[in-house]
Structure 1
Amino acid sequence: MKTFQVKQKLLSLGGKFTIADNLGIPTYQVEGSFLKIPKTFTITDMKGQQVSRIEKKTISFLPQFKVKLADGNCFTIKKSWTFFKSRYQIEGLGIDVKGNVWDLSFNLQKDGQQIASIRQDLWHLTSTYTVEIYDEAYSDLVISLVIAIDYVKEQEASQASSSSV
């Protein structure tokens, strides 16, 4: 089992931060584009090798995000049309998501076996998550999924605050 702390910096214009394991050893580097359309995030390991790329689809009625892993696998996060609570679909992942994805308290399962657990730590100024990965072969995928979901949540929060003004 491998545990990671995903913690963004409070003021990071492009969205650049490091993800460390439970021993505090930097493992991943996340860098978001600054003033670029479409908004993208690139995740690399500490050797500089690209792990994944997250890109927001620019022209769509509802938000969509495509995640492409370095091994060639892709999945898409799409917002569904609902009146009350936000709901999203994760397509092309081949993994079952159990729990409340948008409150970031959920588990990932493949073929009935739990491969990861994601929990948002609520008592921080920045987005902070504890990610436990039970099968390390899924580390890149799980970290990419958490970054994509966090970006979706950040977009929704900024849209909600700007529309309430």
Structure 2
Amino acid sequence: MTINEKQDEIIEEFDSLDNELKEVGFDLSERLLQKTDYIMDLGQKLPSMPESDKTEDNRIFGCQSVVWLTARMQDDKLYFSGDGDQYAKISKGIISLLIRALSGAKPEEIANANLYFIDKIGMQSFISSRRTGGLASMVERMKAYGREYSGQEA
């Protein structure tokens, strides 16, 4: 599955969730809270990283919480693992969505990816401005891994 196909799948999930919430009469603020809960649920499902990977080198700075990210090459594709501390419920959900969209793609595709799903699901409307900076740091780190593993200039 391509990065864009994965993004379209994520958009469809959030659209379906929003439509279901509208049907039961939730207003916009209630729908935003439910989407935040959904993102936290996704974070809880993210497999834990080995403690040995939870290092300062793997930490994503700029996040409101402590979040780690690693990358490994396998069969010419880049695979990501991420985790967060006990306070990183939303951040873990965000990194899980990014991992879902980008993991398993070729490094050059990751480096050059247009992550349009972030805007399409309205992520900025249900995460705080402080978390928006963390989101940008996560995206940049993943793209940097893509550049590194594809041999592109930083």
Larger strand share, 1 or 2? 1
Query: Shorter-normalised TM-score: what interval?
Result: 0.3 to 0.5
Larger helix share, 1 or 2? 2
Q: Which has the higher contact order (CA 8 A, sep 6+)?
A: 2
- Give me the TM-score of the superposition, normalised by structure 1: 0.37
